[in-house]
Amino acid sequence: MLGTKRTLPKGFLESIVENICTYGIPALLAIGGFEAYEGVLQLVEVHGHYEELHHHVNNIPGTDFSLGFNTALNATMERCDRIKQSASGTKHHVFIVETMGGYCGYLAMVTGIAVGADAAYIFEDLFNIHELKANVEHMMEKMKTDMQRGLVLWNEKCHDHYTTEFLYNLYSSESKAIFDCRTNVLGHLQQGGIPTPSDRNYGTKLGVKAMLWVLGKLHEVYHKRWVSANAPHSACVIDLKKAVAFSPVTELKKDTDLEHRMQWEQWWLSLRPMLKMLAHYCISMTA
């Protein structure tokens, strides 16, 4: 537990190299979020300028399923269920819930499917005022049925101008007094808590896999008193996909949106139609 802040190594390379030499560090296992990946990438990209950095083996968890997501999803789902439960004794309430996740809408969308949300607005699926209006009209029609409460999820950075406050004002204004709106910003309530069994098991598996991989690479590149590790596979991300795998950080760069801190292509967007089906929109299976 180093207590470090989100500071990338680019401006401190001389100090990093000095410490590597001072303490004889042969390998580096970076555990963290996007900064960990970007930090490792910066170290790899300056291999040619610092011979000492050729002695590094780097790897971090991430990709399709990041460690801790399952715990955050459970926390978000639990709070949304509580919000829906609190509304069960009243009618004509629409709750607008803002989730965390940066520019990545995975948490908002998967939670939406799990709790039966009426809509989940995310950065990856562009929307406009016409779609927002259609959602409000759909909500008004829903209020005429036995299900007289609504839940809308809103990813924190899904739009520069259509904010949580804007959405609240829009739904409130267009509801024509048929329903009233409430907002709930979950914020850091989604973080921390007790890790789920899935995350605990994945954490153990990743730790073992990572250390075995690091040791194996050190044995491959060890030459008497030094380690020479400057090949692409000497700096990898440990992936959670269909199976645990290792991908060179340099190869992942072309697939990464560094500005928005996520992958360019999101496999889970194919699940979007399922959300609308559960909310009783008229949509086909091939949409």
pLDDT mean across residues, the chain: 80
The C-alpha angle with vertex 22 and arms to 59 and 249, in degrees rounded to 5, equals: 15
What pLDDT, in 10s, does the model give residues 108-149?
A: 999 999 998 999 999 988 899 999 999 998 888 888 877 778
Q: Which of 265, 232, 248 is nearest to 54 (CA)?
A: 232
What pLDDT, in 10s, does the model give residues 191-227?
A: 767 889 988 988 888 888 888 888 887 777 666 555 5
Which domains are assigned to the chain?
9-67+197-263 (3.40.50.450), 71-193 (3.40.50.460)
Q: Which of 164, 67, 55, 52 is nearest to 108 (CA)?
A: 164
pLDDT attached to residue 18: 86
pLDDT attached to residue 90: 66
Beta bridge partners of 176: none
Q: Are 53 and 207 in contact (CB under 8 A)?
A: no
H helices of the chain, in order, are 13-23, 34-45, 69-86, 106-115, 129-142, 164-174, 197-221, 249-252, 272-278
Is pLDDT at 185 greater than 80 in this prediction?
yes
Could you tell me which residue, 158 or 286, shows the higher pLDDT?
158
Q: Are 236 and 58 in contact (CB under 8 A)?
A: yes
How large is the average pLDDT for residues 50-78?
68
